[in-house]
């Protein structure tokens, strides 16, 4: 049993040392809570739980603390994928729910498993998800001042459970000030993908991740026999050709954990019950 989580990117230019330390402590705490949850739950249930904890922490651009789009509205996206069944479900540009990842998880048993916009919100309302504003004062100040964070904020979790099952979940509040209707990578297989061989969650600039098909490439290469490290190396070399901005976390079927980013610094933490690894 192992897991790794990420909380987007940390930029020395626009965040303080105090924020960096806060994210390190937060990620370590969430990784530990999620690992404890993994003891008695499947990887699929655990990745949703871990991402919900990240959504509930305003340090990250997902759920509470999501970025505001150019028209002053918050729209969030999230997806989850079960490596065992190879089913993905997700929501795109959903508004006014506390935990988009739980709405995405709820959709896994539906025939129509990826919903967008108003349809996603109607489904949430009909399935007991209460109306909830995820806006915080800091995001409103950033919006009003037209400050951008570069579109590098997403959260995710990859886990392998005691039965060797893999799962992945990813959630984002968008890049901030984007055109309404813009689709991120987080609810697509480019940014969130798993099968029985490997699971990958991405963060960064969604357009770059989609153009590179980052998560899908890594998982496919591992499935075809490439090592996890080599799959990352080749995929990120291809990302360089478009000067892509991305980071990714992964676990393969043998429990190997790997992460990489194209620019500093993706914030992440992994835990296997004994050893923590936290970004620095």
- Note the pLDDT tens digit of each residue in 49-80: 999 999 999 999 999 989 999 999 999 999 99
Question: So what's the pLDDT on residue 10?
Answer: 87
Q: 169 forms bridges with which residues in the sheet?
A: 80, 157
Whole-number percent of the chain with pLDDT over 70: 96
Distance of CA 263 to the CA centre of its chain: 17
User: In this structure, what token pair is assigned to residue 23?
Assistant: 């994210």
Question: Which residues make Cβ contacts (< 8 Å) with residue 84, sequence separation at least 6?
Answer: 44, 165, 166, 167, 196
End-to-end CA gap in the chain: 24
Question: Tell me: the pLDDT tens digits for 13-37?
Answer: 567 899 999 999 999 999 999 999 9
Confidence of residue 151 (pLDDT cuts 50, 70, 90): very low
Q: Please say whether the beta carbons of 46 and 167 come within 8 A.
A: yes
pLDDT at 212: 98
pLDDT in tens, 225-247: 999 999 999 999 999 999 999 99
Q: What are the residue numbers of the active site?
A: 154
Residue 104: its pLDDT value, please?
A: 98
pLDDT band at 118, cuts 50/70/90?
very high
Whole-prediction pTM: 0.95
For residue 149, pLDDT beyond 60: no
pLDDT tens sequence across 207-224: 999 999 999 999 999 999
Pick the closest to residue 53 from 83, 27, 21 (CA basis).
Answer: 27
């Amino acid at each position: 049993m192992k897991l790794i989580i990420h909380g987007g990117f940390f930029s020395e230019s626009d965040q303080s040392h105090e924020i960096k330390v806060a994210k390190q402590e937060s990620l370590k705490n969430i990784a530990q809570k999620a690992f404890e949850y993994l003891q008695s739950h499947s990887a699929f249930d655990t990745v949703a739980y871990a991402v919900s904890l990240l959504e509930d922490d305003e340090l990250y651009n997902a759920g509470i603390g999501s970025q505001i789009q150019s028209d002053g509205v918050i729209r969030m996206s999230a997806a989850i994928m079960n490596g065992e069944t190879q089913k993905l479900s997700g929501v795109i540009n959903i508004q006014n729910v506390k935990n988009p990842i739980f709405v995405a998880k709820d959709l896994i048993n539906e025939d129509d498993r990826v919903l967008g916009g108003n349809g996603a919100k109607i489904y949430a309302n009909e399935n007991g998800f209460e109306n909830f504003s995820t806006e915080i004062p800091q995001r409103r100040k950033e919006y009003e001042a037209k400050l951008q964070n570069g579109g590098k904020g997403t959260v995710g979790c990859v886990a392998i459970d005691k039965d060797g099952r893999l799962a992945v979940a990813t959630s984002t509040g968008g890049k901030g000030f984007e055109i309404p209707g813009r689709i991120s990578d987080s609810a697509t297989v480019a940014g969130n993908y798993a099968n029985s061989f490997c699971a990958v969650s991405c963060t960064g600039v969604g357009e770059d991740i989609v153009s590179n098909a980052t998560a899908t490439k890594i998982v496919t290469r591992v499935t075809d026999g490439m090592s996890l490290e080599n799959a990352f190396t080749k995929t990120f070399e291809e990302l360089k050709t478009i000067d892509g901005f991305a980071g990714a976390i992964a676990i393969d079927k043998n429990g190997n954990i790997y992460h990489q980013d194209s620019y500093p610094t993706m914030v992440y933490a992994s835990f296997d019950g004994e050893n923590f690894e936290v970004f620095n």
